[in-house]
Amino acid sequence: MSDRDPAADELQTSRLSLRRPTEADIDAIFTIHHDPATCLHNPSDALTRRDEAEELYRRWNEQWQRHGYGYWVVRRHDRDQQLGFCGIKPMELQSQKVLNLFYRFATSAWGQGYAGEAATAVTAWASRHVPELPLIARVRPANTASQRVAIRAGLTRAEHLDDTGYDGYDWIYAAKLTN
């Protein structure tokens, strides 16, 4: 798969559009990752300067070019404002290739079911288009909201894969059983 495949560029749910990021999303990438509340459990993801958001966008776009999928920008159908981001990234977990499920939303968008709705759509897309990679989510033990989103998307706890991540010990949720 490559960025020439248009199938992934836009996903739709009943309320949401998920679109491949463009440079026009850099301000939203910065605003959302600059809010201490959105990176409370994952401080290594926090951004302090706008040029860091430009660099993050560049990495997200490179992944889209290399794999044909990545992180999507989430909006309501009826509004232009970016609610947040949700997507998948190939990585290694305990020497096994996996797809990591990511979600981060603006605090103003929390509590309305958006993350669960977006993560469910991304999980379905991944199982159809990247079935060879087990889908996992790495969640800090105190991040109850993130755990609920993973469960809402159909993942279940996979304690045997728990591991130390960038910000400390992570609980692993998985869409498929892995060895």
Between 123 and 146, whose beta carbon lies closer to ligand COA? 146
How many angstroms separate the CA atoms of 107 and 11, rounded? 22
- Crossing angle of the two packed helices 144-152 and 114-129, in degrees rounded to 10: 50
Between 133 and 172, whose beta carbon lies closer to ligand COA? 172
Please give the helix or strand (H or E) that residue 11 lies within, else none. strand 10-12
Q: Minimum distance between the CB of residue 111 and ligand COA, rounded to whole angstroms?
A: 5
Q: Minimum distance between the CB of residue 113 and ligand COA, rounded to whole angstroms?
A: 4
16-19 and 156-157 strand pairing = unpaired
Q: Which of 11, 16, 18, 38 is close enough to bind ligand COA by CB under 6 A?
A: 38
| Residue 61 three-state SS | helix
Q: Minimum distance between the CB of residue 6 and ligand COA, rounded to whole angstroms?
A: 27
56-95 positions binding ligand COA, by CB under 6 A: 84
Q: What type of residue is 127? A: S
**x/- track of binding to ligand COA for residues 100-139 (CB under 6 A):** ---xxx---xxxxxxxx----------------------x
| Residue 148 within binding range of ligand COA, rule CB under 6 A | yes
Token code pair at residue 85 = 């981001």
Q: Which residues are CB-contacts of 159 (< 8 A; sequence separation ≥ 6)?
A: 171, 172
Q: Which residues bind ligand COA (CB under 6 A)?
A: 38, 41-42, 84, 103-105, 109-116, 139, 143-146, 148-149, 152
